[in-house]
Amino acid sequence: MCGIVGVFEHGRSRGGVTPDLVIRMRETLHHRGPDGEGLFVTEDGRLGFGHRRLSIVDLEAGAQPMFDAAGACLVFNGEIYNYPALRRELEADGVRFRTHCDTEVILHLYRRYGERCVDHMTGMFAFALWDPDRDEVFFARDPIGEKPLYWADRDGTFLFGSEIKAILEHPLAPRAVNEDAIGPYLANLVTPGPETLYRGINKLAPGHAGRCGRDGVRTWRYWSAAEPRAFADVGDEAVDRVRELLDKSIHDRLMSDVPVGVLLSGGMDSSTVVALLREQARGLASFTVGFPGYEDVDERREARWVAERFGTDHHEVTLSETDALGMLGPLIHHQDEPLADPVCIPLHAVCRLARENGIKVVLAGEGADELFWGYHGYHGALERWRLHRAALAAPRVLRRLAAAVTSPRTAPLRREQLEGFARGRLKPIHCPVGMTRHQRASLLLSGDEDVGWGPTAGIDGEDPLTTLGFDTQEYEFQVRLPELLLMRIDRFSMANSVEARVPFLDPALVDYVYRLPLSSKIRDGVTKWALKEAVADVVPPEVSQRRKQGFGAPTSRWFLGRHGSLLRDLMGQDTLRRYFDIPYLDSLLAGANPDSWEAGQILWPVLNFGLWHKHWIEGEPLDEIVERASADPHGAAPALA
């Protein structure tokens, strides 16, 4: 795993790229690769690549930037799990290798297949390759979006990096707010691609590639799970196929020359990873995080049970509100743009625990709920589908009336859902995952109704349940999963110089399960039916039958204390006042319910935005403002006038 940066002055015949500039950009990513560094700048000063390395495979070789015999230059972040098979195929055709690492395979694949090289790779990756023959930079991001790649093109200069902070080191990258993206950020808890919350800085979407040459930047999609938009005609043989694909994916992700651990919550997904390792699980390092006093988000007991059952070498860390406040500065720094999910807090802590115990690679269960339909919302939608179908069949005037008489202030989620019924196309489940349209319109001074994403056109005559199913999966796999869930684990594993791997998101497994009929995902009230059946011989019923418990942090209760004080401090400053309706925000904070969803869905995103603005836009340190909240012995301050 690595951090990559680059500058390409494609609009000039003589450039001004210097080693010092590339090094300055590169060193912002030291945490992503503390084991080695690399630099390349062309003689004409038009191109510079930088690389930081976290050594996982072929520890002695594999330095980057890496070159082929024709002078092509590559910087690469990620792992290509099928590289041994690719290497054998290439060697059989006469290709000679100088190293034993996966990086060199990409160079040879590019020489053979050009931009279609990405079709042959299974793994997580983001890379950029300078082709001197074409005088172009080719770049790509993996199909699911496990690894990030950000870019900007300003005044004939192409900039890219694994994190936005690297791009911001270049003088052509202004620290300006993309105000059009604030509303979509509040709706999704992250800015949907291809935009970011910085004006002029983009994120490459999952399954996309691009080229930069004399004519500028062009990007395109090379892979999508969403096509074709049709469920597969399969029976219970899906269970055996799921087991086969998942077994292969987990064991492929053990590829490493350093020890591997697992992030273990004790839930179905992480326990499945441990169980499928079988005898290899004994002695495997496992890590979990807990919140003493908050039983609804503390999974230590369940994780201990699984660790004892499979014999892992188990480690725990606990967090308090004071601990969480102390993490806010590092959280905002490593996020670059807000990832307004409280899970970032325990992720940071548990990845730090892994690194403290000498583990550089961890397996995690991300993606299983999205792929196999494990969330309560999925089950609830299918359970009530007869009522939903009847409502969709009602005259449109009645559907519109039902939406109009539902208060967006007292029942915002219901109003959003009823508006979907009025349109005749339901909102995808979890969309918006953050604030509803009416909440955003009330909070934002500019007003905003754009969620920043829309489903593809449905097929004529498509059943409404099929439409809801595919719309939901598109939203999950195009926005929520790659840009929020996968970016939070990328940021906070790499912040601690740890590589995280997610076996549930192998492209072959995703491609197969994505189109399984909904009856294979939820059956007789059982969520993740195909997965649970596939691993029933190794995952005990104490795990598979346990009620799902979300991974999170007790932010709702924290806003009654010092987190509320911190937010009120920001509400008194122009940092928030220039964008948000403060009286509306104040009313939400004053009425915060420790058992409600509003803190996580509204207050936490606003707090993250305010701290991000302070740190990244205004350039102010966060220590003083966080310390004021930490020192407040009474918790939240009185309501603002």
Give the residue numbers annotated as catalytic, written as ranges.
2
Output the CA angle 90-96-102, nearest 5 degrees: 65
Would you tell me how many other CB atoms lie within 10 Å of the CB of residue 333? 17
Please identify which residue in the block is written with the tokens 């208060």: 407
First to last CA, the chain: 50
Beta-bridged to residue 5, according to DSSP, are 50, 161
- Indicate the DSSP class of residue 59: S
Cβ proximity of 10 and 156 under 8 Å = yes
How many CA within 13 A on the CB side of residue 38? Answer: 24
Amino acid in the structure at residue 179 = E
Helix axes 268-277, 300-310, angle to 10 degrees: 10
Cβ proximity of 124 and 144 under 8 Å = yes
Cβ proximity of 148 and 141 under 8 Å = yes
Cβ proximity of 466 and 386 under 8 Å = no
Question: Between the CA of residue 295 and those of 299, 553, 563, what are the distances in Å?
Answer: 8, 11, 20
Please identify which residue in the block is written with the tokens 């005749």: 424
Instruction: Find, among 329, 328, 331, 299, the residue nearest to 314 by Cα.
Output: 299
